[in-house]
Amino acid sequence: MEIVIVGSGGREYSIGLGLQKECRIDGIYFYPGNGATSRLGKNIDFANEQEFIDFALNHQIGLVIIGPEAPLVEGLADSLRENGILVFGPSAKAARLEGSKAYMKEFAKHYNIPTARFIQTQEYAEACAFIENLNLPIVVKADGLCAGKGVIIAESYEEAKRAAKEMLEGKSFGDSGKTIIVEEFLDGFELSIFALCDGKDFIVLPAAQDHKRLLDKDKGPNTGGMGAYAPSPLATPQIIEKVKSQIIAPTLEGMIQEGNPFSGTLFCGIMVVKNEPYLLEFNVRFGDPECEVLMPLFKNGLLDCFLACAKGDLKNVQFELESKMCVGVVVASKDYPFKNSPKEKITIESLKEGTESHISFAGVSKVKEYLYASGGRVLVCVGKGDNIQEAVKNAYTQVESVKFNGMQYRKDIAYQALGKQ
Ligand code: AMP
Ligand code: GLY
């Protein structure tokens, strides 16, 4: 079988790496891929959706896996399905769980899913009235997709009102901020919980923890994620059970009732407060860099999981996970996340045979036989181990093998898990 992975990041590279082990796969295409995915398969590109559909039909593509949220929200999965092509990823209507925070919050309220108290509004006066009734800090969010930037945590009432005003006037996030959500701040620790869903059934993968801030000790600006690890010891079996019964199961049930069953990856951004999980947000795809630490935990059955989700047959799926820890350290370019950095040539030393580590490539381009850092988050160094210390050591050994001008990375990935052992 030949498959296509849509996307160009480290997430898509890691899915390709995970699937490369599957002997039933004869070839992997990346649409459009990056400078390193061409080592795992073939990069392809098209002028429009119809060209892609024609390609998939002509090549009898057995499965399309859609990595990023934008094509999902725009309905790529629907167009492929209408043409009889098997797809891993939700329909546009189901992808609204990520595409519209207002939709997701109203959905959570309707189906009694625990989430922060909120209002959604298009009126400044209404936003102000709600703001005045909340304790500080106050969270103000733009409704639509904002590449992870549409959330302001305001430390004063003035700042909250200013954020609301700028969003509503379309100044900060364009049309994405024409509707806003104002909500109470939840004080706890965050977990990323991923459920593979087929519309009615789901399986939960090991809980991951992301590190969103740029600098050590969770300082500096928010980023797409500077590192992750899984499984997180902070996610106790009781918390996972609550996430399943109070968040994931009612979501799948609710989406059936709404007439838009959810299939694909349901990424639950959770805040745990006093042992109770609250839903911060849904994403309808794997997290990046969380995906890079989840894929290597599959011993077997990854392709079967994707196929079963796509076919609606998850009940009968067989798969096995490794009982290991996995840590991913993002190596970013000099000016990330503020602006684009100049392209820099990357060199990588080979490591001793048997080191349990590898690289998932993200913002890289290829010129002749060389790789250049060309994006913000350039690559993710992934280490595995029998315990968290070993996995951290293996990930940072891999980081030390990488050299390019201006590279930056956090030195404390998985510190919360290390503190627990
Ligand atoms: P979101 O895109 O909604 O997940 O928000 C991005 C980040 O903002 C989250 O990962 C949290 O760190 C933070 N955040 C969002 N909503 C809240 C909230 N209600 N209370 C505390 N932190 C929040
Ligand atoms: N790492 C968080 C995200 O992918 O949204």
pLDDT digit string, tens, across residues 228-281:
999 999 999 999 999 999 999 999 999 999 999 999 999 999 999 999 999 999
What SS3 state is found at 418? Answer: helix
Q: Whose CA is nearest to atom 2 of ligand 2?
A: 287
- Strand pairing report for 402-403 and 347-348: antiparallel
**Residue 59 Cα, ligand 2 centroid: separation in angstroms?**
32
**How far is residue 83's CA from residue 85's CA, in Å, rounded to a whole number?**
6
Residue 307: both structure tokens together: 């196929």
Residue 419 vs residue 131, higher pLDDT: 131
Nearest CA to ligand 2 atom 5: 287
Check if 98 has its Cβ closer than 6 Å to any atom of ligand 1.
no
Separation between Cα atoms, residue 127 and residue 118, nearest integer Å: 10
For a ligand 1 pocket test, name from 120, 267, 281, 288 the mutation site with the most ligand atoms within 8 angstroms of its C-beta: 281
Beta partners for 195? Answer: 204, 266
Mean pLDDT check: name the lowest of 67-71, 172-176, 369-373: 172-176
Composition of the chain by helix, strand, coil, percent to 5: 35, 30, 35
Does the Cβ of 185 fall within 6 Å of ligand 1? yes
Residues at CB less than 6 angstroms from ligand 2: 148, 210, 224-225, 283, 287-288, 290
- What's the CA-to-centroid distance between 408 and ligand 2, angstroms? 19
Confidence of residue 420 (pLDDT cuts 50, 70, 90): low
Which contiguous run of DSSP H or E holds residue 331? strand 325-332
Residue nearest to atom 3 of ligand 2 (CA): 287
Band (381; pLDDT cuts 50, 70, 90): very high
Structure tokens at 138: 């106050």
Q: Which of 14, 151, 194, 210 to mutate to test the pocket of ligand 2 (most atoms within 8 A of CB)?
A: 210
- Ligand 2: nearest atom to the Cα of 11: 4
The pLDDT of residue 305 is above 90: yes
Q: What is the pLDDT of residues 310-346, one digit of tens each?
A: 999 999 999 999 999 999 999 999 999 999 999 999 9
Give the whole-angstrom CA distance, residue 85 versus residue 31.
16
Whether the pLDDT of residue 181 is over 60: the answer is yes
The whole-model pTM stands at 0.95
Average pLDDT over residues 286-309: 97
- What's the one-letter identity of residue 290? E
User: Does residue 391 sit in helix, strand or coil?
Assistant: helix
**DSSP assignment of 86-151:** -EES--TTTTHHHH-HHHHHHHHHHTT--B--EEEES-HHHHHHHHHTSPSSEEEEESS--TT--E
Over residues 190-219, the mean pLDDT reads 96
Looking at ligand 1, which atom is closest to the CA of residue 148? Answer: 2
∠ at Cα 344 (341, 348), nearest 5°?
A: 130
Q: How far apart are CA 341 and CA 373, in angstroms?
A: 9
What lies within 8 Å, CB to CB, of 257 at 6+ separation is none
Q: How far is the CA of 403 from the centre of ligand 2 (A)?
A: 25
Distance 280 CA to ligand 1 centre (A): 6
Question: In residues, how long is the chain?
Answer: 421
pLDDT of residue 149: 75
Rounded distance, CA 4 to CA 14, Å? 14
When pLDDT is averaged across residues 111-116 and rounded to a whole number, the result is: 98
Q: What is the DSSP letter of 417?
A: H
- How is 182-223 classified by DSSP, letter by letter? EEE---SEEEEEEEEEEES-EEEPPPBEE--EEEGGGEEEE-
How far is residue 327 CA from its own chain's centroid?
A: 15
Q: Is the CB of 280 under 6 A from ligand 1?
A: yes
User: How far is residue 104's CA from residue 262's CA, in Å, rounded to a whole number?
Assistant: 13
Backbone torsion region of residue 75, taken as left when φ is above 0, otherwise alpha when ψ lies between -120 and 50, otherwise beta: left
User: How far away, in angstroms, is 35 Cα from ligand 1 center?
Assistant: 32
Whether residue 281 has its Cβ less than 6 Å from ligand 1:
yes
Percent pLDDT > 70 in the chain is 99
Which of 11, 283, 291, 329 is the best mutation target for the ligand 2 pocket, counting ligand atoms within 8 Å of the beta carbon and taking the most?
283
Least confident of 4-13, 171-180, 205-214, 403-412: 171-180
Tell me the one-letter amino acid at 328. Answer: G
